[in-house]
Structure 1
Amino acid sequence: MKPSHRLLLLLSSAAAVSACSPRRAAELFLLGSHFDAVQDLPYGEGPRQRLDVYSPRDVGGRPAPVIVFLYGGRWQQGSNDEYRLVGSALTGRGFVAVVPDYRLYPEVRFPAWVDDAAQALRWVSDSIRRFGGDPSHIVVVGHSAGAHTAALLALDEGYLRRAGVPPEAVRGVVSIAGPVATEWTDRDVQALMGPREGWPATYPLRHVGGSQPPMLLLHGGRDETVSPKNSTEFAALVRERGGCARAIVYQGLGHVSIAVALAVPGLGLAPVLDQVAAFAREPAIVCGA
């Protein structure tokens, strides 16, 4: 997994396809904003334990389903202010979107960022009604390293329970280009995952049972950073053990462009946002798929 793809990279990729400057791309996709954004809300005491909330302005008077988006960055970099386009895209489909920051290596090692994500979910459960969200309908979506965290939240109930969140509060999980069925071979990743004897706890595949919430795994067929086999093999094991999971591989996409397809659906790269939105509204659609 290479270093994180910052918002400028997302915009530059979008601009390359749409033949306009990165700044103009941002203007095009954010003109007439359909959402309200509240930034830097604390869910913990640390400077990186902050989150942004994006709320659609018209939800028809009823609480909106909630998507918590965990960005990637090889557990070493990233910032939620780089993901405004993701917030815009999700609110455009009627979701309240929450994008937390979390602590990173070398300040911390595993499992600190998973604990942070669980703590952010506690905040969502307690506070999201104030922003028009439905605390009984929460789906966690993660890209790359964020997908790894999202999977662990679903598979190891201990993280949520320690944060005071009932595991059933998470209705479903979407892994986008997630390293969910791999073992650590790169030295920097080995270092941030802690002592070797603890690595089994870091592997989502080792935690798969039949009781986790439904999971949707999306991957680019041209991903040279995280092999698509992570998603297909993981989904197969979940189904084998009686759980609900579906893997979709978009043959023309890579590790970055699948995130661009989510954030900027107007480019027409692939129906990533469509798949995420359909699943987030009814996670059970993957059961029996």
Structure 2
Amino acid sequence: MLGMLISAGLLAAGTPAIVEQQGPHVLVAGPTVRLAVRYGPAARQYAHLFTRERPGRAPLIVYLHGGGWSAGAQTSGSAGAQPDHFTSLGYAYATVSYRFVPDVTLEEQLADVAQAIAKLRRQDGVDPKRIVLIGHSSGGQLAALIGADPAWLDKAGVPFDMLKAVVLLDAAAIDVPPIMEAGRGAPTVVRYYQPAFGDDPARQAALSPLRHAEPPNAPAWLMLHDVNNPLAGLQSRQLSVALIAAGAQEATVQPVKDTTHMRLNNEIGQPGDAATAEIDAFLARVFPEGQRPRLR
């Protein structure tokens, strides 16, 4: 059964209506401003930060793109409606570019993300004490591991309790060893998982967010998955149970209908998108102090 779920999940693409957007939100008028932020010397070690003119410092949303740890672009988030949507609600929004496997190891990729967060939280208009990670697909694995294992932010000099929430979009590789075992020889495993995680079960476990669910963890989690991706659903539920048992304030898993693996990501921020409404309501719960009546 696990093998069937993994086979289906590795091929899945597919998503729901969730709930109406809840709670009052502040909409900030004005244009979105993009700033290029370099956090290392390599060509791919940069981020884009989007902000609006507003008093004070805004919570920082950091988006991590997918691509099987070996491809993809930070414009997966910034080319769509996400920057305008999230900055209009009073957040700062950033997308991170990082180096790829096999040019670097997955551990070095995680270090890139942590260093980017360290640099972004020092930018003008950003509240360094209120950080949210959003990760899609393999970017979801990166976000989940950073949210569950304090070592990555600690190495970058970022206090772990500054990370307030994690949002996963059809996340891959929440628990790696069973995927590698049951999916042995599958094209997706050979092409993406094998170069990223290798053959050592101990290393695979160390890079699995589920194996780091003991405290401390980010306090609030939202895991959205394509209803047609049973592997993402199964592993998200496993992670949710483990996080709640470890003391997380929230670890919600929500299947999304009428979508695909890519649409779930690409339609975030678009008017009427159900997954976006889920994220907005979740963030309103995480940051209730920032919610005010609509300005327009």
**TM-score normalised by the chain length of structure 2:** 0.76
Give deviations 1:46-101, integer Å, cap 9, x for gaps: 111101011123x3x12111100111111111122343222222213221101110
Q: Give % identity.
A: 25
1:224-263 matched pairs, under 5 angstroms: 226-244=231-249, 245-263=251-269
Is 1:211 matched up with 2:208? Answer: no
Q: In 2, are the aligned partners of 1:109 and 1:194 still within 8 Å (CA)?
A: no
1:120-131 matched pairs, under 5 angstroms: 120-125=116-121, 127-128=122-123, 130=124
In structure 2, the residue matched to 1:81 is 75
1:281 CA displacement: 4.2
1:129-208 matched pairs, under 5 angstroms: 130=124, 132-179=125-172, 180-182=174-176, 183-184=179-180, 185=183, 186-188=189-191, 189-196=193-200, 197-208=202-213
In structure 2, the residue matched to 1:278 is 281
Letter in 1 for 2:98: Y
Q: In 2, are the aligned partners of 1:181 and 1:231 still within 8 Å (CA)?
A: no
Letter in 2 for 1:165: V
Is 1:35 matched up with 2:40? Answer: no
In structure 2, the residue matched to 1:27 is none
Q: In 2, are the aligned partners of 1:215 and 1:283 still within 8 Å (CA)?
A: no
1:111 CA displacement: 1.1
1:163 CA displacement: 0.8
Letter in 1 for 2:69: W
Structure 1 gaps of 5+ residues are 6-31
Give deviations 1:142-179, integer Å, cap 9, x for gaps: 11111110111111111111111111111111111112
User: Structure 1: which 4+ aligned runs deviate by more than 6 Å?
Assistant: none
Q: Secondary structure of 1:53's partner?
A: strand
In structure 1, the residue matched to 2:92 is 96
1:134 CA displacement: 1.1
1:107 CA displacement: 0.7
In structure 1, the residue matched to 2:20 is none
1:135 CA displacement: 1.2
Letter in 1 for 2:253: A
Q: Secondary structure of 1:256's partner?
A: helix
1:269 CA displacement: 4.0
C-alpha separation in 2, matches of 1:181 and 1:192? 14
C-alpha separation in 1, matches of 2:211 and 2:59? 30
Q: In 1, are the aligned partners of 2:61 and 2:94 still within 8 Å (CA)?
A: yes
In structure 1, the residue matched to 2:6 is none
Q: In 2, are the aligned partners of 1:71 and 1:80 still within 8 Å (CA)?
A: yes
Letter in 2 for 1:140: L
Letter in 2 for 1:102: Y
Name the CA shift for 1:33/1:229 in 2 (closer, same or farther; >3 Å): farther
1:243 CA displacement: 2.3
1:114 CA displacement: 0.8
Q: Secondary structure of 2:106's partner?
A: coil
Q: In 2, are the aligned partners of 1:34 and 1:92 still within 8 Å (CA)?
A: no
Structure 2 gaps of 5+ residues are 1-8, 14-28, 184-188, 289-296
Q: Secondary structure of 2:267's partner?
A: helix
Give deviations 1:229-264, integer Å, cap 9, x for gaps: 22222212222333231111113232112113314x
1:277 CA displacement: 2.7
Name the CA shift for 1:277/1:133 in 2 (closer, same or farther; >3 Å): farther
